[in-house]
Structure 1
């Protein structure tokens, strides 16, 4: 709620029915500040009353066309519309009584203190739908984020609707509701064609997203308390992460892959520790040669941090022949969602019996020796 303009005027008006010889009574107020609108609005409030016998003032024309001429209704000294019928006159008197109430509300609005206005605005925000707000926050914060991050936010949005329905008011959100949602996530179903419930670590990720949305709601003024700081997250289970030994990496290097760019990028990740998203967007103008040393100078997509990283001669050779400065180094490298199948086929072809993702390659424990690693 925003403070109404001081000169708002409420007036009883008539609107002709399109099908019958009768007129609807309504109150028109202008100018009025309306939430979500930058300019003053004309607000119409219909009173569920109609009249059929208004008296027209032939000296005051209203909207007139070449075919028709209309007039404004005649009013008494108090501004009440005059009618021939007693029943219609009572309806007009009722309409004017409602108009007086609305006028008083607009007049009193200018007398509100700053505290009262702030309280009224907060009360209005508490009646907003958190689930719709969550969707807007996801779009605003992660429009340019990775597909996996966007998918996680979309999944939490779906689970919120499963938990609370289409509407969850900010006024309903408190510690107890957050705890209830936490327990709901611990037994929430998997998405898509997968069966069963999500893992504890996935539930932990989803609940962290929920807390991030609560934090943003506090910053934006929808919540008066920072609930995200008061709510404990879901403890993750320690998971065993697979990684390659140096011998296994050599096996991969000596095994053909159906996608050459995938092989080069995977080995490059193992030798440099770069993420898939950073390798995928790496351009030739982000590689510099100083003396005999190749170096990377780029901005990480995930952390937005600037990296200045020397790389080994072998890692540089995996980049291929230098091309135009704005061209991608690993042009044609598939997105994560399309990389799993050819990567798994390549690993199995090398005789390695481990469940490895592209992400696992950069966690290889030998990567701190990246300047001296040599694959046979």
Structure 2
């Protein structure tokens, strides 16, 4: 921040009133013109414009010393965080550089999934504000509101579809984390987020199957054998379609008599070790030295339709997707008393809170179980 002394002549033209001008940043308006941000402080002091007598000259000298002292005091106060100003050097710092510094702290072996969300946030935020010279001076409540609106209404996926409400909420939370970090470090003296609403994430229904329904699927015929085997494999292992699709026989080994899969998760890029059951291994078919395990598996609308047709043949009316197999695996373990930390590790989640999305499902399962207690005749 910069402070200057400004003199303004009176109507008679013999004296000048004095005031301090606080300069704390600038921005470019919609017409491309630079607009300076400033604040004025009127001082109860004056100068003689053309001092003739010795007392008038002495007055001007003492007044200037006093005003310079006030200016120095105000600069010290601003540096200490008073008056709502920030250090001009800090405020002029690059927002993108600070964002990247914060983002890189999330690039850990256990946080790849979270890191990818940070990367997605940066890509979309750059579309909202492409200017590489963005500084913290420009991070006003209005700017943040604009970013919020962009995430909610304008951000698109690679396929030109609007990003989901949950993704918009996650991206905006990353931006909030950067602003809060800047506030904590004293880069900004007032947190503009106090005036900006967050994006509430809508909870989406997660379709899962009961073990009884999975057993009915085992009995029912499916047009594509590879689809039947891979979906059941997902129910027994919790693997995503992308990880099952690229699973290679070279990823399979045996440890202490148990079949183990060692692979890099397609979504999070983290190394995963997964010991599987004999029935899951049976679904993989005849063991080979190398090559894709589930050959012929292709993601297509026809496969999705056949999955629903297969479920209907098994008497299941739920809207089942391939990802329902992963949900089935998680709910099956949690409802049988496996702790959430273990389930989180088996699913390959980088944070336990991601696994907690199944908490409501488990509560519903328990509630339903309680109502199955038979009438005892009271």
TM-score range, shorter chain: 0.3 to 0.5
The structure with more radius of gyration: 1
Higher helix fraction: Structure 1 or Structure 2?
2
Q: Larger relative contact order (C-alpha < 8 A, sep ≥ 6)? A: 2
Q: TM-score, normalised to structure 2's length?
A: 0.45
